[in-house]
Amino acid sequence: MTEARRPQWLKRALIAAGIVVVLYGLELVVQAVTIEYVQRIMLLAGINVILAVGLNLINGTTGQFSIGHAGFMAVGAYGSAFLGVQLAPIVAGALGSGPLADGVTFNVGLVLGGLLAGGAGLLVGIPSLRLRGDYLAVVTLGFGEIIRILFNNAKFLGGATGYSGDNPAGLPPYTTFFWVFLWVMVVIAVIKNLTFSQTGRSLSAIREDEIAAEAMGTPTVRLKVTAFAFSAAAAGVAGGLFAHMQSGVRPEDFRFERSIDMIVMIIVGGLGSISGAVLGGIFVAVSLELMRDFQEYRLVLYALLLIVIMIVRPQGLLGNREIGEFLRFGKKKSGPELSG
């Protein structure tokens, strides 16, 4: 009886604080031990993981194939960059300058960017998610391109040459190991909870047989749109993190190739698996850097990889199971199998 009275929130808060401390310590280690080049790979890997886990929610768990998510990343990137620049003087006024003010500006910007991206996700999702399969894919591709074209023509955001704030040296480089991996934890936690909940089951049901799910009373449209908005918001947060390690955001960074990279991440890892998405995200970031000298071959290889995986092992690395089941860390219940 006394067990149940120990406050849950205290336990959770302690765990959260512990994670923050560990991450900060890791950051110090990483800064001391590795060169900037390697740090960039790690940051990209973290950003990729957020993208992949977010995309996996809609493509994998809910089975609605979206191939235009680069657009939402762009919304988050531009949103957090622009709003960050607007917010900085206000925050500086209240908190002075220094890491606290920077941290606040950055994270508020990220959250706002994510919300904007989520909003864009709603706008895109509501009309699009009435469509099925191939059509949905092409419409999302179209929306991704339209978003990019809009940014390309938005003069107040720098147009084609991109937005880099009001400092000639570019956007402030807020993105560090600590923030990236903190957000990675947050996003994974949120999406994991969503996936392994009642809502998550309904999403899987929609993937398996939408009409049957509808017949069973699942509010399919509402759920699909919600999942879509969540995944768009995740992409937006990733976009904001990306923007602040690039010193500028350009429409060129969010072409269709970016959406393809995201798809490779979740296909390689396994459509429907969160840990698969994590692995896929790391894979793409690492292979990007390792193949930097062979860039032309990288995309050819990705393409072949997609084709071969589809023919030989369409469920990718982990199918839609989680890594725990392979390493027998714990008893996790898997969702219904993807056929094929």
Distance in angstroms (rounded) separating the CA atoms of residues 98 and 106: 12
β-bridge mates for residue 163, sequence order:
249
Query: Which range, of 71-79, 95-103, 166-174, 198-206, touches another protein by CB under 8 A?
Result: 166-174
- Region binding another protein by CB under 8 A among candidate stretches 46-54, 70-78, 189-197, 332-340: 332-340
In this structure, which amino acid lies at residue 303? A
**How many residues bind another protein, per CB under 8 A?**
84
218 scored as a contact of another protein (CB under 8 A): no
Q: How far is the CB of 141 from another protein (least distance, A)?
A: 8
Q: How far is the CB of 311 from another protein (least distance, A)?
A: 5
Cα gap 119→1, rounded to integer Å: 45
Residue written as tokens 């808060």? 13
Name which position in 11, 12, 130, 222 contacts another protein (CB under 8 A).
130
| Cβ distance to another protein smaller for residue 108 or 286 | 286
- Rounded to an integer, what distance in angstroms lies between the CA atom of residue 180 and that of residue 72? 18
Pick one of 73, 101, 116, 139: the residue that binds another protein (CB under 8 A): 139
For residue 13, which amino acid is it? A
Q: Is the CB of 122 or the CB of 141 nearer to another protein?
A: 141
Least Å from the CB of residue 46 to another protein: 12
* Residues 226-255 within binding reach of another protein (CB under 8 A): 246-248, 250, 252-253
**Residue list 67-126, contact with another protein (CB under 8 A):** 67
- Using rule CB under 8 A, residue 159 touches another protein: yes
The contacts of residue 117 (CB under 8 Å, 6+ apart) are 72, 73, 75, 76, 79, 232, 233, 235, 236, 237, 239
Closer residue to another protein, CB minimum distance, 112 or 265: 265
From the CB of residue 212, how many other CB atoms can be counted at a distance below 10 Å?
A: 11
| Member of 97, 153, 193, 197 binding another protein (CB under 8 A) | 153
Q: Pick one of 12, 197, 307, 332: the residue that binds another protein (CB under 8 A).
A: 307
Amino acid of residue 51: L
Nearer to another protein, 223 or 317 (CB): 317
Inter-residue contact 172 to 97 (CB < 8 Å):
no
Distance between CA atoms of residues 213 and 146, nearest Å: 32
The beta-carbon contacts of 100-107 under 8 Å, at least 24 apart in sequence, are: 102/172, 102/174, 103/174, 103/179, 105/174, 106/172, 106/174, 106/179, 106/244, 107/179
Nearest to 110 by CA among 85, 72, 86, 77: 77
Contact status: 334 vs another protein (CB under 8 A): no
Which range in 14-22, 76-84, 112-120, 150-158 contacts another protein by CB under 8 A? 150-158
List beta partners, residue 249: 163
Nearest CA among 121, 140, 105, 146 for reference residue 233 = 121
Question: Which of 52, 73, 184, 271 touches another protein by CB under 8 A?
Answer: 271
Q: Which is nearer to another protein, 233 or 263 (CB)?
A: 263
Among 1, 10, 94, 311, binds another protein (CB under 8 A): 311
Pick one of 17, 304, 329, 332: the residue that binds another protein (CB under 8 A): 304
13, 14, 21, 146: which one binds another protein (CB under 8 A): 146
Smallest gap from Cβ 165 to another protein, in A, equals 11
Residue whose CB is less far from another protein, 11 or 313: 313
Site for another protein in 5-64 (CB under 8 A): 31-41, 45, 63
| Distances in whole angstroms, Cα of residue 305 to Cα of each of 66, 309, 314 | 19, 6, 11
- The binder of another protein chosen from 26, 145, 190, 291 (CB under 8 A): 145
Q: State the DSSP string of 41-97.
A: HHHHHHHHHHHHHHHHIIIIIS------THHHHHHHHHHHHHHHHHHHHHHHHHH-S
